[in-house]
């Protein structure tokens, strides 16, 4: 819980946006992008110290634009999610948007995985999205407005044998989004998916090192190879993902619902 959250609700022109995985590379970029638009942004994560560090960093980068609130929340736990959303609605009056960036699958071919690996990924990324979407659906449908963006990944439609867990969980996440977009859309709530490819984050650095270790090259060489295989010749920046998310939350995307948009520089082969 954030003990410094304001007691008064923001005005109707200032959106209240909840961001899960806010301390990750893409999550923090989304927080920064939304803060620059003067939104009230609620950062969710399990590590209070990291949440506060990211909140302070974004506040400094944006010159205090927007209002940033940090809530220690475990998206693996239904009670934690429901309690956080209830407190936010009581304190701020509403939740206008949700961005789910938390969760990922490991680099591990099938025979290197265990049940725990699969269950951990599905619990955080898919069930985390389910818990968060279910919690905000009531306030949003009551208000007859809202936008939800679930950050998935290109392995959803272009599976890779080194990342079977990511491919499966991302496909499930997209199916969930499509289903609930039809249900919630009738109450004015839009649900969409963003599928990034390789994004230049600390997590990518770990993946590149792991890939390099398997083939006897450096992480830098892996990154160069991946960039060279991308038609646009570069990895995505976290800000690229954040700008697309911000667009999908905005009134400019008012007629986009149930969509899955790929952001990978043209790298994936899937249609």
Domain ranges of the chain: 16-197+236-262
pLDDT of residue 270: 74
Nearest Cα neighbor of 262 from 183, 198, 179 is 198
CA 75 to chain centroid: 12
The CATH architecture assigned to 16-197+236-262 reads: 3-Layer(aba) Sandwich (3.40)
Apex 21 CA angle, 19 and 26, nearest 5: 90
pLDDT of residue 2: 54
Measured between alpha carbons, how far is 171 from 71 in angstroms, rounded to an integer?
Answer: 29
pTM above 0.85, yes or no: yes
Q: Please list, in sequence order, all residues whose beta carbon lies within 8 angstroms of the beta carbon of residue 213, skipping any fewer than 6 positions away.
A: none
β-strands 16-20, 40-45: how paired? Answer: parallel
- pLDDT tens track, the chain, 271 positions: 454 544 466 766 789 999 999 999 999 999 999 999 999 999 999 999 999 999 999 999 999 988 999 999 999 999 999 999 999 999 999 999 999 999 989 999 999 999 999 999 999 999 999 999 999 999 999 999 999 999 999 999 999 999 999 999 999 999 999 999 999 999 999 999 999 999 999 999 999 999 999 999 999 999 999 999 999 999 999 999 999 999 999 999 999 999 999 999 999 887 7
């Amino acid at each position: 819980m954030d003990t410094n959250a304001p007691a008064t609700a923001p005005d109707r022109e200032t959106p209240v946006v909840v961001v899960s995985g806010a301390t990750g590379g893409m999550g923090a970029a989304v927080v920064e992008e939304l803060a620059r638009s003067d939104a009230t942004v609620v950062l969710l994560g399990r590590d209070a110290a990291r949440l506060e560090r990211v909140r302070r960093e974004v506040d400094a980068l944006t010159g205090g634009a927007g209002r940033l609130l940090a809530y220690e929340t475990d998206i693996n736990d239904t009670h934690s999610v429901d309690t956080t959303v209830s407190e936010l609605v009581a304190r701020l009056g509403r939740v206008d948007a949700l961005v789910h960036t938390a969760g990922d699958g490991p680099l591990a071919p099938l025979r290197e995985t265990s049940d725990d690996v699969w269950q951990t990924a599905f619990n955080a990324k898919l069930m985390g999205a389910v818990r968060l979407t279910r919690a905000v659906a009531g306030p949003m449908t009551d208000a007859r407005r809202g936008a939800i963006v679930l950050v998935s990944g290109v392995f959803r439609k272009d599976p890779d044998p080194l990342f079977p867990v990511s491919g499966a969980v991302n496909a499930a996440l997209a199916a969930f989004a499509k289903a609930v977009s039809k249900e919630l859309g009738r109450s004015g709530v839009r649900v969409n998916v963003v599928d990034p490819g390789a994004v230049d984050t600390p997590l990518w650095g770990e993946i590149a090192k792991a890939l390099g270790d398997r083939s006897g090259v450096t992480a830098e060489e892996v990154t160069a190879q991946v960039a060279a295989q991308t038609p646009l010749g570069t990895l995505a920046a976290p800000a690229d993902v954040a700008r697309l998310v911000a667009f999908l939350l905005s009134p400019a995307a008012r007629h986009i619902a149930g969509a899955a948009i790929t952001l990978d520089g043209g790298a994936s082969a899937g249609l």
